[in-house]
Amino acid sequence: MSFRASVLTLYPEMFPGPLGLSLAGRALERGDWSLEARQIRDHGIGRHRTVDDTPAGGSPGMVLRPDVLADAVDAASPPGDGRPRLLMSPRGRPLDQALVRELSAGPGVLIVCGRFEGVDERVIEARGLREVSIGDYILSGGEMAALVLLDAAVRLLPGVMGNAQSGQTESFENGLLEHPHYTRPALWEGRAIPPVLLSGNHGAVEAWRREEAERLTAARRPDLRAARHVTKT
C-alpha cells in the first residue's frame, strides 16, 4: 500500500505545489504515494460556509470552530484509517529526522493546516491531533509547514531516492551535521579539493568525513553534539 497523505486546508490550491516536482513529483506520478487536499470550508456552517468564530474570553483574531474541523477530520479519516493525525502548530513537537523516519515508515498522514489565531483546543483533544512544528517562527497558516513535512517524509519512501544510501549519510541521521562535499574541478579559484578525498584510501576518506562532521556539529549545533553524548551515556 502506498503512503497516503490527506491535507485539510482552506487553500487546497496550494497543493501539490513543489511536491509535484522533482523526486516527490515523480514518485507521485508513479503512485509511490498519494496526496489529496481537502477543503475545510466544505464542512462550514450555514449559507456562507463559516469555519471560524471569535475567541472565547475576547482577543483579536478568529479561531477555527471545533465542530467544523471535527467534521472535516472525520470525513478524511474514518475509524480504522490508521494514519496519525497531525496539526501543524508552532507550539508542537519540533519536526526532526527521527519523526520524519517514523512517519515515512507508516501508512501515511492526515495533516490539519490551521489558520487565523489557531484551532479550538477541544477538537485537538477530541480527535487526537498531534501538534508538530517546523520551527520557532509564525507562518500565515499550516500549509507551508505541511509541504515541508511531506517533502521530508516522501523522499525517504522506498525507491524515491535513486541511491538509498544517500539518506543514511545526511545531516541529522547520526546526530551529526553532514560533512562537506566537493566535486570537479580539482582546483577552483585557488581552492583545492582536500587531498585525502583524491587519495583512493577509503578508510582515510571515511575518517576525514567523520572528523569534519564532528567539527561542524560542534561549531554550529552544539545542542546536537550534547544530545549525542547524553544518549551514549
State the CATH number of the domain containing residue 42. Answer: 3.40.1280.10
Helices marked H in the chain — which ranges? 22-30, 66-76, 97-104, 121-126, 143-154, 202-220, 222-232
Domain final residue, candidates 124, 154, 184? 154
Q: Do 29 and 93 fall within a single domain?
A: yes
> Domain span at residue 200?
169-232
In whole angstroms, give the CA distance from residue 78 to residue 71.
10
Q: Do 22 and 119 fall within a single domain?
A: yes
Q: Do 84 and 198 fall within a single domain?
A: no
In whole angstroms, give the CA distance from residue 3 to residue 83.
10
Q: Do 139 and 77 fall within a single domain?
A: yes
Q: Do 22 and 79 fall within a single domain?
A: yes
Query: What pLDDT does 172 receive?
Result: 76
pLDDT digits (tens, 9 = 90+) for 159-218: 999 765 555 656 677 789 999 999 999 999 999 999 999 999 999 999 999 999 999 999
Q: Do 108 and 201 fall within a single domain?
A: no
Q: Do 143 and 58 fall within a single domain?
A: yes
Number of domains the chain contains = 2
Query: What pLDDT does 175 receive?
Result: 86
Domain membership of residue 89 (yes or no) is yes
Domain membership of residue 126 (yes or no) is yes
State the CATH number of the domain containing residue 178. Answer: 1.10.1270.20
Domain membership of residue 122 (yes or no) is yes
Query: What pLDDT does 165 receive?
Result: 53
Q: Are 3 and 32 in contact (CB under 8 A)?
A: yes
Domain membership of residue 148 (yes or no) is yes
Closest CA to 131 of 155, 83, 185, 95: 95
Domain membership of residue 194 (yes or no) is yes
Domain membership of residue 180 (yes or no) is yes
Q: Do 173 and 69 fall within a single domain?
A: no
Query: 159: which residues sit within 8 A by CB, 6+ positions away?
Result: 27, 30, 32
Q: Do 30 and 138 fall within a single domain?
A: yes
DSSP per residue, 88-107: EEEEEEEP-HHHHHHHHTSS
Domain membership of residue 162 (yes or no) is no
Query: What pLDDT does 225 receive?
Result: 77
Q: Do 212 and 122 fall within a single domain?
A: no
| Predicted structure pTM score | 0.91
pLDDT digits (tens, 9 = 90+) for 131-162: 999 999 999 999 999 999 999 999 999 999 97
* Cβ density class 59-75: b for 16+ within 10 Å, e for less: eeeebbbbebbbbbbee
In whole angstroms, give the CA distance from residue 5 to residue 163.
24
Beta strands 108-113 and 187-188, pairing class:
unpaired
Domain membership of residue 220 (yes or no) is yes
Domain final residue, candidates 154, 184, 202? 154
Q: Do 206 and 147 fall within a single domain?
A: no
* Cβ density class 80-107: b for 16+ within 10 Å, e for less: ebebbbbbbbbebeebebebbeebbeee
Q: Do 16 and 69 fall within a single domain?
A: yes
Domain final residue, candidates 119, 154, 189? 154
